[in-house]
Amino acid sequence: MKFLKESDKALVKDIDNKVKNKWSWKWAGEVLSRDVPKVGPVTYTLGECLVKIDVAGVAFCKWCEDKVAYGGNGKKHLVAHCNTDKHVQRLRVRCTNYSLGGTFPGAQKDKTKDSETGGKSSLFSIFSMKKPSIAPTEKKVVASGSTVLPPIMTQQSLQNHLFPSPIEQQI
């Protein structure tokens, strides 16, 4: 199966030679509008989902991965495929995969944040949130009366304690 482009008009004409309704490249620009459940109105062209293949009277739906016969009814059959439950489900997934609606914790609409940001999208407000301040460790050390050593000093002293140097072993 080979996908054909508009530049392959001569090849498409040869392939669809004996078909009643031959492939028309105008169909690829045909705009479809559909109300998708849980998404809303969606507009797309037949060329976004359907492509002509090297089989007479058959196109291929890239979204559904199905072969769609158009030889008998032409464009009507392609549009009918776009109204099938499987195609609408794939269209819904395609629309929701590109939106970042509730992906981030700060993405929900908050009127107080909108007034602070001047009406900008609350999606990016999670990046501008104030981070909690962490108290310096020095205050904790003074309060508990213990000392904190940097990790490098601890590591060196631990190595010397577990494995004495060769000079110390000879004595």
Alpha carbon distance 14, 19 (integer Å)? 10
Domain presence at residue 119: no
Domain presence at residue 63: yes
- Regarding whether 68 and 14 lie in a shared domain, the answer is yes
3-state SS class at 55: coil
Alpha carbon distance 53, 41 (integer Å)? 29
pTM here is 0.56
What is the share, in percent, of the chain residues with pLDDT greater than 70?
57
- Regarding whether 12 and 79 lie in a shared domain, the answer is yes
Domain count of the chain? 2
Q: Which residues share a beta bridge with 61? A: 50, 66
3-state secondary structure 97-141: HCCCCCCCCCCCCCHHHHHHHCCCCHHHHHHCCCCCCCCCHHHHH
Structural domain containing residue 143: 137-163
pLDDT single digits (tens) 154-169 = 555 555 556 666 665 5
Q: Is the pLDDT of residue 101 over 60?
A: no
Domain end residue (candidates: 45, 65, 97): 97
pLDDT single digits (tens) 16-53 = 898 999 999 999 999 999 888 888 899 999 999 999 99
* Amino acid type, 6: E
Domain presence at residue 52: yes
